[in-house]
Amino acid sequence: MLNYYPFWKNAMLLCILVIAVIYALPNLFPEDPSIQISHDTGELPTSLQAQVEAVLSQHELVSKAIEINEPQQLLIRFSDTDTQLIAADELKNALDSDHTVALNLAPVVPNWLRALNASPMSLGLDLRGGVHFLLQVDTNAAVVTALERYEGEFRTALREKKIRYVAVDHDGKSLAVKFRDQENYQAGLEELKNTFRADLDFLEGKADKGFLLKINFKNTARQELQTSAVQQNITTLRKRVNELGVAEPVIQRQGLDRIVVQLPGVQDTTEAKNILGATATLEFRMVDEQADAFAAKQSGQVPIGDKLYFERDGNPVLLKRRPKLGGEYITDAASGIDQDSGGPAVYINLDGEGARKFRKITGENIKRLMAVVFIENKTEYFKDENGELKSRTRKIEEVINVARIQDELSHRFQITGLDSTREARNLALLLRAGALAAPMSIIEERTVGPSLGQQNIDQGKRSVILGMILVMMFMVIYYRVFGIVANIALMVNLLLIVAILSMIPGATLTLPGIAGIVLTVGMAVDANVLIFERIREEQRNGNSPQASIHSGYAKALSTIADANITTLIAAIVLFTFGTGPIKGFAVTLSIGIMCSMLTAIMGTRAIINLIYGNKKAPSLAI
């Protein structure tokens, strides 16, 4: 028979349809405004639920449900966002600092669907709501950091060649090296030029006594430093946002020194701002055990080569100015509990070069004291006398641990001395994500509320529904029964798109994505139009109805494939080279094209076979 599908083909199409229905179904269930509470230890106290219920009852706040989720989180569901926000404030005030209270949107999906890993598709910032940050990168700080690095390298290079110098310092824009006599000046100039000539310009300066050498960055080197700082910050921000668990964030450069960050679904911006703007790293420095730190604190006279730090208990400690190892060698960090003391700890992993250096450093300094210095740049926000939002960056350097080296340490070790498990967790997060190359400040912050997101969703739905109705009316009027079959395929096509977007981890639907779906709705019937017109042409040529159906599908296949493949190539190019909204449009367009080829060619053919396949001389309603 010409128009007959074997049982396995029909069964395959039916299985695809059932799977699509199951995985598209969670999108019909709404999301509850919720509060998610976790404990720093990872275990919820047994009295927490009763305490939460008491707080809600005291303030006459009604919850829909209180449940414990994995991993060990208490989830409180509410009927509206107003109650959710009030309850979050009251719970933060009532619970101690060991508890983390975060806002969330929890889907109301039945347990049997959850067991199949069926969940609603993720919605972007423009649909779900969330926060938008515009960050200003202090690129000049990257230049200062490079100057400080060169300052240390200059001292090392001059000392190794036994060239005497008076001082090496910088003013934030250039370096200055002072010499006492002409001989050392010429030797120092020659040595530094030969070693560092690639990125630096060397100029003679004037000094009251002795000789002065001024060193500036070349313009190309300075621009490269600033560009690299912004790019490294973008990379670090991506890692940090991934740690926050935000689906499909938008992080992209804007202009020369600005970065746009959009976090869909984030309602409580406090933690996001702290994580995005913080710069944290560790330095390992040797303790100067020969000098008296208390005397240095009182007199203000710090020995040459030392720097005065303070431990967390306020005690001063003198550390060598030059760190033995920096945080750039850290590849992984995880928080945990120290088995000996029972206190919080962070377990550090170093890369190959870092492990080699650390093994050598600790091996050469057994029985000596080494300190771990925690360095963090915090951005603080305040309003000036005119009410304008301002920011300032404060650098915090503190010694979190001083220990005597008992043995060689290699690629994995732990640090202790932290105040809480929360601090250990945040430090591990920042170390895993890497340090920012330059400090940043938030110069613009916008919150997209759920009402605006819902309005966008409703408008998107209306556009899809209106487009489908108009296309379906045209197909029924123009192609009658065959048009009804095409409309069924169109609805199945839309169902498949929703199911696939729900199944793909990390896929997010945005307004441009909805535009891609609307475009797909219009394009999906193109293949059927080609097939149906071919069937009409075969009938006009005198072929039988069964032969016309067979020829219509067979002869239109190559044309349909060519048209869809070329569009698919364009969508892949958009996804490859596009960013943000363009990627969302390309994803839905690509999925829609592939689904339309399945439904238009195999899906409609299966239905047409069921209607006309068993008839010898049917009258085609086309």
CA–CA separation, 44 and 100 (whole Å): 11
Does residue 244 have a pLDDT over 60?
A: no
How far is the CA of 621 from the CAs of 69, 284, 465, 539, 544, in angstroms? Answer: 56, 82, 26, 12, 14
The pLDDT of residue 270: 60
Q: Compare 286 and 333 and report the one with higher pLDDT.
A: 286
Whether 589 shows a pLDDT value over 60: the answer reads yes
Task: Give me the chain's average pLDDT, please.
Answer: 81
pLDDT at 278: 61
Report whether pLDDT(75) > 60.
yes
Report the pLDDT averaged over residues 491-512: 85
* Residues 360-387: tens digit of each pLDDT: 888 888 889 888 888 776 666 566 677 6
| pLDDT tens, residue by residue, 288-297 | 988 888 888 8
If DSSP codes are grouped into helix, strand and coil, which group holds residue 77?
Answer: strand
Least confident of 90-99, 270-279, 396-405: 270-279
The pLDDT, as a whole number, for residue 515 is 84
**pLDDT of 23:** 93
| The pLDDT of residue 17 is above 90 | yes
pLDDT above 90: percentage of residues in the chain: 9
Span of 137-146, 188-197, 263-272 with lowest mean pLDDT: 263-272
Q: Give the tokens for residue 441.
A: 């400040």
pLDDT of residue 617: 67
In the chain, the domains with their CATH numbers are 7-25+449-612 (1.20.1640.10), 30-108 (3.30.70.260), 139-221 (3.90.1150.10), 279-436 (3.30.1360.200)
H or E stretch covering 610: helix 604-612
Residue 492 and residue 504: Cα distance in Å, rounded? 18
pLDDT at 237 over 70: yes
Q: What percent of the chain has pLDDT over 70?
A: 86
Look at residue 451 in the predicted model and tell me its pLDDT.
Answer: 58
Longest CA pairwise span in the chain (Å): 111
Q: Quickly state the pLDDT bin for 389 (edges 50, 70, 90).
A: low
Band (pLDDT 50/70/90 cuts) for residue 450 is: low
**Contact at 8 Å (CB) between 170 and 151?**
yes
> Average pLDDT, stretch 125-131?
75
Whole-number pLDDT of residue 13: 92
Flag whether pLDDT at 356 surpasses 70: yes
Q: Which comes out higher in pLDDT, residue 100 or 369?
A: 369
Q: pLDDT tens, 185-224?
A: 888 888 888 887 777 888 876 667 778 888 888 888 888 8
> What is the reported pTM?
0.58
Q: Is the pLDDT of residue 287 over 60?
A: yes
Side-chain-side CA neighbours of 608 within 13 Å: the count stands at 33
pLDDT at 15: 94
* Tally of CA atoms within 13 A in the half-sphere of 132 that contains its CB: 11
Is it the case that residue 613 has pLDDT exceeding 90?
no
Whole-number Å distance between alpha carbons of 568 and 572: 6
pLDDT band at 392 (very low <50, low <70, confident <90, very high): low
pLDDT tens for residues 507-555? 778 778 888 888 887 777 888 888 999 999 988 888 888 888 888 888 8
- If one compares 12 and 419, the residue with the highest pLDDT of the two is 12
- The mean per-residue pLDDT over the stretch 86-105 comes to 78
SS3 84: helix
The answer to whether 28 touches 36, Cβ cutoff 8 Å, is no
- pLDDT of 422 over the 90 cut: no
Buried b (16+ CB within 10 A) or exposed e, 193-227: eeebeeebeeeeeeeeeebbbebebeeebbeebbe
pLDDT value of position 495: 92
